[in-house]
């Protein structure tokens, strides 16, 4: 039992859109490298431990099944945005078959999240609409030097010069 062609479907669905191409490239390269290493070293290993090499593969298959059950969300019949939302909202993989996307709301995807350089300061819960409290933003009043002022009805005519110093008024 191996991943076979299933891994190509998995890597095409689990990465956010903005990183999909890069992550799929890294995943594909690592898949090819590990396949090469296994096929290259298998004759040497089987010469040393004979049939017990099958136990190594059995342990890998068992570990893979546990990882899939606990960490890989069900993606059958779902859009890529819904899959992305499930991972952001921390939907447990074993409950992902029963998960329904929120109706009447935009799906939260990693593409809509702002990431600081190096992904520092990421707050998945905040982006997924799971804030702990309401946030308000205050905007300071415009000043004479900064900001936009409403001058309608004051008789103030702004000084302006058009292209190459010509007036545009």
Predicted local confidence at residue 83, as pLDDT = 87
Q: Supply the pLDDT for residue 110.
A: 72
Q: What is the mean pLDDT of residues 134-158?
A: 56
pTM: 0.57
What does the pLDDT look like over 62-101, one tens digit per residue?
998 999 899 999 888 888 888 888 888 888 999 988 988 8
Greater pLDDT, 3 or 100: 100
**pLDDT reported for residue 166:** 54
Cα angle for residues 26, 39, 30 (degrees, 5° grid): 5
């Amino acid at each position: 039992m191996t991943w076979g062609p299933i891994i190509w479907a998995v890597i095409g669905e689990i990465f956010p859109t903005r990183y999909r191409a890069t992550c799929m490239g890294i995943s594909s390269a690592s898949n090819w490298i590990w396949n090469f290493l296994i096929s290259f070293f298998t004759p040497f290993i089987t010469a040393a431990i004979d049939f017990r090499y099958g136990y190594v593969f059995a342990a890998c298959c068992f570990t893979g099944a546990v990882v899939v059950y606990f960490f890989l969300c069900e993606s059958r019949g779902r859009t890529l945005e819904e899959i992305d939302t499930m991972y952001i909202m921390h939907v447990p993989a074993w409950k992902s078959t029963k998960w329904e996307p929120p109706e009447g709301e935009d799906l939260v995807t990693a593409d809509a999240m702002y990431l600081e350089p190096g992904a520092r300061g990421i707050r998945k819960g905040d982006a997924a609409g799971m804030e702990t409290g309401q946030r308000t933003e205050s905007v300071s009043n415009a000043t004479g030097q900064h900001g936009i002022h409403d001058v309608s009805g004051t008789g103030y005519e702004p000084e302006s010069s058009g292209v190459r110093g010509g007036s545009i008024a």
